[in-house]
Structure 1
């Protein structure tokens, strides 16, 4: 074996690392899905879980482009929305009992979303995938604006501003699910989420999935070995759009309505943040990002009106200081605990965490006090019965001291790391 081959083998993740980073998260996820019904979740919790399931499939589909294919898209909600809209039309055809649709189960509507999203991506990708990098991103942005504008012009297809609604309780039952109660929808969501995760994971292990990563890193070399990088990008783009359409079909069944907002730049930007915050270099990363950001968008808004500001700050911090996302932090921490200097690593991590929490404490107080002062309604930030007015010296002590102390701790750790021998 040559030295080059040995070095290449050393760069590859070990069997244990592959299991921890790829297989184990999926097994844990499936176990959680099976355990949730045993806890007798409330209707609110089921609604949140259903939204998480939709976003997980959508984020994984998007990461096939960004993480695996290196294609930054600002309009992937187009395929999510077109898949959902087509499912809404099929849902109404099922209710009318017209043609073959009268015997089509609502349970399998995501398949129609998969087909519609894939066909739309195949057509749009036939010209957009001829370019890469910034040009591709700008084309995706233009296509998103074009489709979003068209949704208000073609009322028969998109229903105008009011969108299209339907009734999911039609067609033959599958697995004894009437598709009416929230519990039935839970198993519907669980089934298609697991199918989507397993199918997309299987795709990453195929030759095309490997070629997409090679095209991302070095398209010239891919062309040199006999493959067309443009065709590889188009195929990956089409499959990614199909799975985005699958998520759109899940959303159509869950909400029984689809509006042009689903085609706008807002969900396209949100899925980008979900994938990147979770970690685009790990298959489980978008799953983590989708769960966290769905919770933040649904529940955190009940506690503070500045939740979007916190979301933006988190995204900036992840991009600057943790580019491998939440998954990178989790797996890095686990690998550090298994290392030779696990005690020193744990001590350093705890100190670093303390510094981050101190800065976060000061920042939260600053944001909440500023929001209440800016609104001018006379409200005062009063967590746990404490009174933090904007004109109080105590308030500014609570803001400044933790931020300065946390920054000093992180700066000290950074200098110590630089002075450590390589």
Structure 2
């Protein structure tokens, strides 16, 4: 019985990973426009950042306000590496995210040593101080950080390599999709290792973890370093996609954005941050073209998730799926009408709220 259950779980996981890979492959053919490919590329790099942040918050219980430091510094390293590689083979661009990951890991070694000496609120305050410190220091060294205008680059390094030069957005998307799949698989594999299990124990009960012989600070430090490594990969991919990096990539606003997207998706589920990153990027890229109040809507969504769905979008989805499987056909018929009435009421309330917000924005703009 137990062996059959294990085999079923392994088979289910294989199908999920195959579906994920297939989705990454066919997405550009469903959305072939250049603007859509750019949004898909942003989603890919943000998914890596959200998953890496969840290694701290969801898996180890560390609330950091400075995650953008590691992705941002890695992005600067990636830009300078690309500028050094100008005229070389485009194949070298495949390794730039790895260079960004190593840069992020090195920053995690340095800053994590200070940050993880404490836990809880103290850790959060230290990370907040570090992000402000690094953001301020970026403007003091314009030779490396480029001042307020940032540092630009060109991802087309040299002559095409087997027809690939990364000049088209489609090629950039597949580069990001490749690293997204590899990074996601690596981070999921980490959750199955002894370190991943111990990190969960440190999150839930650090005293008990210490009692059985595991140093909670050491576990936090190791997870911090690994999280910074994957954040560096995400930052480097973002630099490749936009071909420019500025001090904004190191800002507290960027860190808050990563935290917001991760929590909206759901920190209790591995795929939750990926959903949050997708929703957040779509809010930022699409909704911002239709209304100036998109940040207000994103904030309202965050408040609603915190108050009514602390498990995030993934938690709501899993609860609904579990409930659906348990209900009988007769019970579904009995609950259908009350559910539809509540849904209609919520939609009317949401529509009225949006209408009121848009009227106020237009009135303030004099439209």
Q: Please state which band the TM-score falls in when normalised by the shorter chain.
A: over 0.9
Secondary structure class of the residue paired with 2:269: coil
Distance 1:225 1:171, change over 3 A: farther
SS of the residue 2:292 aligns to: coil
Q: Find the aligned partners of 2:193 and 2:340 in 1 and give their Cα distance.
A: 40
Contact kept, 8 Å, 2:48 with 2:183, in 1: the verdict is yes
Q: 1:128 to 1:360 in 2, by over 3 A?
A: same
User: Would the alpha carbon gap of residues 19 and 315 (structure 1) be closer, same or farther in structure 2, given more than 3 Å must change?
Assistant: farther
Distance 2:324 2:57 in 1: 30
Alignment-derived partner of residue 272 in structure 1 = 259
1:320 aligns with 2:307: yes
Is it true that 1:363 corresponds to 2:350 in the alignment? no
Instruction: Please report how far the alpha carbon of residue 28 of structure 1 lies from its aligned counterpart in structure 2 after TM superposition.
Output: 3.5
Distance 1:57 1:28 in 2: 18
Correspondence list, 1:201-240, <5 A:
201-240=188-227
User: 2: CA distance between counterparts of 1:292 and 1:117?
Assistant: 25
- CA RMSD in angstroms comes to 2.4
Q: State which of 84, 87, 97 in structure 2 corresponds to 1:110.
A: 97
1:247 corresponds, among 234, 237, 244, to 234
Aligned to 1:133: 120
| Pairwise CA distance, 1:51 | 0.6
Question: What stretches of structure 2 of length at least 5 have no aligned partner?
Answer: none
Tell me the alpha carbon deviations over residues 89-131 of structure 1, each in whole angstroms, 9 at most, x when there is no partner: 111111176xxxx897012100001000011011111121011
Q: Which residue of 2 aligns with 1:352?
A: 342
Decide whether the 8 Å contact of 1:106 with 1:171 is kept in 2: no
1:89 alignment counterpart:
80
TM-score by length of 1: 0.80
1:289 to 265, 273, 276: 276
How many residue pairs were aligned? 361
For the residues of structure 1 that align with 2:62 and 2:339, how far apart are their CA atoms? 34
Q: 1:51 aligns with which of 42, 49, 72?
A: 42
* Closer, same or farther: CA 335–124 of 1 in aligned 2, 3 Å: same
Correspondence for 2:26 among 35, 39, 48: 35
- 1:308 match: 295
Contact persistence 1:21–1:284 (CA under 8 A): no
Give the distance between the partners of 1:256 and 1:336, measured in 2 at CA.
46
Cα gap change, 1:175 to 1:200, in 2 (>3 Å): farther
Does residue 256 (structure 1) correspond to residue 256 (structure 2)? The answer is: no
What TM-score results when the alignment is normalised by the length of structure 2?
0.92
What is the CA–CA distance in structure 2 between the aligned matches of 1:216 and 1:252, rounded to whole Å?
Answer: 33
User: Cα gap change, 1:19/1:276 in structure 2, threshold over 3 Å: closer, same or farther?
Assistant: farther
Q: Closer, same or farther in 2 for the Cα pair 1:79/1:129, shift >3 Å?
A: same
Change (3 A) 1:337 1:347: farther
Cα 1:17/1:151, change in 2 over 3 Å? farther
Higher RCO, Cα 8 Å, sep 6+: 2
The structure-2 alpha-carbon separation of the partners of 1:175 and 1:122, relative to structure 1 and needing over 3 Å to count, comes to farther
**Contact 2:45–2:234 (Cα < 8 Å) also in 1:** yes
Shift of 1:19: 7.5
Contact 1:22 1:284 survives alignment (8 Å): no
1:208-265 Cα deviation digits (max 9, x unpaired) = 1111111000001111111100000000001001100000110111111111110001
Structural mapping, 1:327-338, within 5 Å? 327-338=314-325
Change (3 A) 1:71 1:302: same
Per-residue CA deviation, residues 313-346 of structure 1 (Å, 9 max, x unaligned), is 1100000000001011111111111103461555
- 2:61 paired residue number: 70
Offset at residue 24 of structure 1 (A): 6.0
Does 2:186 match 1:196?
no
Deviates more, 1:342-351 or 1:304-313: 342-351
Quickly say closer, same or farther: Cα 1:280–1:38, change in 2 above 3 A: same
Unaligned stretches of 5+ residues in structure 1: 1-8, 380-422
Does the 8 Å contact 2:28/2:37 carry over to 1?
Answer: no
Instruction: State which of 164, 168, 178 in structure 2 corresponds to 1:177.
Output: 164
1:160 matched to 2:151? The reply is no
- Report how far residue 284 of structure 1 moved: 0.7
Report what 1:405 is aligned to.
Answer: none
| SS at 1:144 equivalent | helix
